Amino acid sequence: MTTLFQQLINGLSLGSIYALLALGYTMVYGIIKLINFAHGDIYMLGAFWGYYTINFWHFNFIFALLSAMVVCAAAGVIIEYFAYRPLRHAPRITALITAIGVSYFLENGMSYLYGADTRNFPQVIKQVNYNLWGVRVSNIQILILGTACLLMILLQLIIKKTKMGRAMRAVSVDPDAAELVGININRTISFTFALGSSMAGAAGVLIGLYYNSIDPLMGMTPGIKAFVAAVVGGIGSIPGASLGGFLIGILETAVQSVGLSAYKDAAVYLVLIIILLVLPAGIFGKNVKEKV
């Protein structure tokens, strides 16, 4: 039982990071039906920004986290404006290929500018382990889980309680009708990208703190897993993305705990296949018929 609770704590800590990443996927898809495969690389940018902010400019963790969110939000808006907005009325496959191109541009651009070597993320917070009834919990895990949950609650409040959040929901349901009642579509979509990218930036700093290492290609696999989390939870659903992220994190740690670390990625993709076969729209998703 102690081992079970230990892996649950580990899984929730890792899953909270996947959940933050998955939120960006699900928000962008919900509003413009685009799978933004460059989202994982925004997460990488956030990690590098946190690295330089702490290591070279000697700021504290809170400033690194908040500034990474701001920088990544700006990066998301710029990418949307230059890469996706001109293709808004193009076939979906065109935008999808563009997203993959943006992803490779960011990865190779960072590798060219800063090198492809792995860097040690500065341990700005000294790790302290607590033993709770035989279960080891570190202050880093508590910080990551608490920060992620706080950001998810804040995101829900923004979407449910603010004028821009209501505009996001309106555009996701019917963009043409939303425009007719005076909602600025471009501004709303840009805000969605900013919000999702800020979550990715926060996740990047948190993962650096968790694993103590970063590199220019670090966003590739977690980005795909976060997309899987969004699909499992029901892409387009905010609660679904959060739940999917936690489930993927718990699944990974469970597979590792039984000595099958080499198969942890395969287990995630197997769950995706099973979910799509049983619940094609995901756990919280809704089946929507499209006109052809």
| 19 within 8 A of 206, measured Cβ to Cβ | no
CA-wise closest residue to 24 among 237, 144, 200: 200
Cα separation, 195 vs 112, in Å, equals 28
- Beta strands 213-214 and 119-120: pairing type? antiparallel
Q: Is the pLDDT of residue 285 over 80?
A: no
pLDDT at 292: 46
Range of the domain at 244: 2-278
Answer whether residue 285 is part of any domain: no
Answer whether residue 115 is part of any domain: yes
Mean pLDDT score of the chain: 92
Structure tokens at 80: 């949307």
pLDDT at 133: 79
| 93 within 8 A of 35, measured Cβ to Cβ | no
39-93 residue pLDDT tens: 999 999 999 999 999 998 999 999 999 999 999 999 999 999 999 999 988 998 9
Global confidence as pTM: 0.93
Answer whether residue 274 is part of any domain: yes
pLDDT at 160: 93
Answer whether residue 288 is part of any domain: no
Answer whether residue 289 is part of any domain: no
pLDDT at 134: 81
Q: How many domains does the chain have?
A: 1
Give Cα 278 to chain centroid, integer Å: 25
pLDDT at 289: 55
103-119 residue pLDDT tens: 999 999 999 998 889 99
Cα separation, 22 vs 235, in Å, equals 9
pLDDT at 5: 87
Answer whether residue 77 is part of any domain: yes
φ, ψ of residue 116 to 5 degrees: the values are: -90, 0
Q: Is the pLDDT of residue 291 over 50?
A: no
* CATH number for 260: 1.10.3470
| Sequence-ordered strand ranges (E) for the chain | 119-120, 129-132, 135-138, 213-214
Q: Is the pLDDT of residue 102 over 80?
A: yes
Answer whether residue 248 is part of any domain: yes
201-228 residue pLDDT tens: 999 999 999 999 999 999 999 999 999 9
Answer whether residue 52 is part of any domain: yes
- Label residue 287 by pLDDT band (50, 70, 90): low
